[in-house]
Amino acid sequence: MSGAVISGLSGSPVADRPRLWPVGFLAASVWIGTAAVTALLPDRIEVGRTQELALIALALGGALLLAGLATPWLGTAGQKIRKAGPWLTVLPLALGGWEMATAKLALLPLPFFASPQGLLEVYLEDWPRLGESVLHSLWLLLSGYAIGAAAGFVAGVALGWSRAIGYWVHPVLRLIGPLPATAWLPIAFFAFPTSGSASTFLVALATWFPVTVLTWSGVAGVNKAYYDIARTLGASQTFLVLKVAVPAALPQVFVGLFMGLGASFSVLVVAEMLGVKAGLGWYLQWAQGWAAYGNMYAALLVMALMCSSLVTLLFKGRDRVLAWQKGTVRW
């Protein structure tokens, strides 16, 4: 309670904070309206979970109503919800429009467009398989990404540091690196004992290239005066690499890690579709094969959430490690 007062005092120049939250009431009424439309209008296309969908919309509307009344007591959480007000109003509108276009009026051709309750049904009924697919994908992605990122980091530092290593690795990097990792797919699947290890290799390869190149350019671009200073203070070669070159190159390394993450997503999906028979890519393929478009959209949404969360995690890590920098890009 007192927290709310303090944040109100120390906050923005909004002097008199309104007791109530009008946008919240608007959002709540749109949610409740959508719930009513969903529950009361008859379905043109019969899908089981209409009432559950209406209930969820109603519950969200009710929660927003409470938030609208209680917002002066919610502190910083309340402020975050307030910020999302316009989105929370437009989302139920979009949901209602989607509901009308699919389940209620059947304007969009089936089976290519799923209705909201169709998606809900997938989540409620097929969640074990979806969950397992997510775990498979995550495991493949993270193990491949970790190997690729570690190898890329080491290769990049070595390239930037040692002329001899640069002499041998640079031409290989230039020839092999720009090749899309997916081009290795046919070879990888017969060269590796299992499709799982082949896919891990491909994800690692896709990650490796951008991480290597950017780490290398980061290390090569380190201000030479940094080395002079450390050398006059008695630094060894190891110290120069680990305590000067690497920290100075870290901002670039994170750009490489970010690009590598993007590359690893696309390789992951292709590898799962063509090789491993597990994971979200495989689920998508499978759903398409059975013309289960609801499952496909459900899996796409989960995949989007997974990828976005991983990028968010990476940026959070970067912000923590590079706290000394000012003014970095926000995700």
Partner 1 sequence: MVSAALSQTPRDPGMAVAIRDASQAFAIEDRTLPVLDRVSLDVQPGEFVALLGPSGCGKSTLLRLLAGLDRPSGGTVLGDGVPITAPDPSRVLVFQDPTLYPWRTVRANVSLGLEAQGLLRRQSHRVQQAIDLVGLTGFESAYPHQLSGGMAQRVALARALVNDPRLLLLDEPLGKLDSLTRLSMQAELVRLWQRSGLTALLVTHDVEEALLLAQRVIVFSPRPARITAELVVDRPYPRHRDDPHLVSLRREALGLLGLET
Contact residues: partner 1, CB under 8 A: 223, 225-226, 228-236, 239, 243-244, 247-248, 250, 322, 324-326
Region of 327 please: left (phi>0), alpha (psi -120 to 50) or beta.
Answer: left
**Cβ atoms of residues 280 and 127 within 8 Å:** no
Question: Please, which residue, 62 or 251, has the CB nearer to partner 1?
Answer: 251
Rounded Cα distance, 105 and 215, in Å: 55
Helices 246-271, 195-220: inter-axial angle, 10-degree rounding: 150
Contacts of range 102-109, beta carbons closer than 8 Å, 24 or more positions apart: 102/45, 103/38, 103/43, 103/44, 103/45, 103/47, 103/50, 104/37, 104/41, 104/42, 104/43, 104/44, 105/44, 106/44, 106/45
Report in angstroms how near the CB of residue 298 gets to partner 1 at its nearest. 44
Report in angstroms how near the CB of residue 184 gets to partner 1 at its nearest. 37
By the 10 Å C-beta count (0-12 exposed, 13-18 middle, 19+ buried), 193 is classed as exposed
H or E element that contains 285: helix 279-289
Question: Please, which residue, 19 or 320, has the CB nearer to partner 1?
Answer: 320
Report in angstroms how near the CB of residue 246 gets to partner 1 at its nearest. 10
Report in angstroms how near the CB of residue 240 gets to partner 1 at its nearest. 9
Report in angstroms how near the CB of residue 157 gets to partner 1 at its nearest. 16
- Find tokens 């080395």 and name the residue: 227
Q: Which two tokens stand for residue 117?
A: 């309750």
Question: Please, which residue, 326 or 330, has the CB nearer to partner 1?
Answer: 326
**Cβ atoms of residues 35 and 57 within 8 Å:** yes
Report in angstroms how near the CB of residue 210 gets to partner 1 at its nearest. 22
Question: Please, which residue, 35 or 249, has the CB nearer to partner 1?
Answer: 249
Question: Please, which residue, 76 or 325, has the CB nearer to partner 1?
Answer: 325
Specify the 3-state DSSP secondary structure of 97. helix
Instruction: Concatenate the DSSP letters of all residues of 131-144 into one string.
Output: HHHHHHHHHHHHHH
Report in angstroms how near the CB of residue 328 gets to partner 1 at its nearest. 12
Report in angstroms how near the CB of residue 117 gets to partner 1 at its nearest. 52
Question: Please, which residue, 181 or 250, has the CB nearer to partner 1?
Answer: 250
**Cβ atoms of residues 157 and 246 within 8 Å:** yes
Report in angstroms how near the CB of residue 220 gets to partner 1 at its nearest. 18
Question: Please, which residue, 17 or 231, has the CB nearer to partner 1?
Answer: 231
Rounded Cα distance, 99 and 297, in Å: 15
Question: Please, which residue, 19 or 224, has the CB nearer to partner 1?
Answer: 224
Question: Please, which residue, 30 or 246, has the CB nearer to partner 1?
Answer: 246
Query: What separation, in Å, do the N-terminal and C-terminal C-alpha atoms of the chain show?
Result: 31
Region of 106 please: left (phi>0), alpha (psi -120 to 50) or beta.
Answer: left
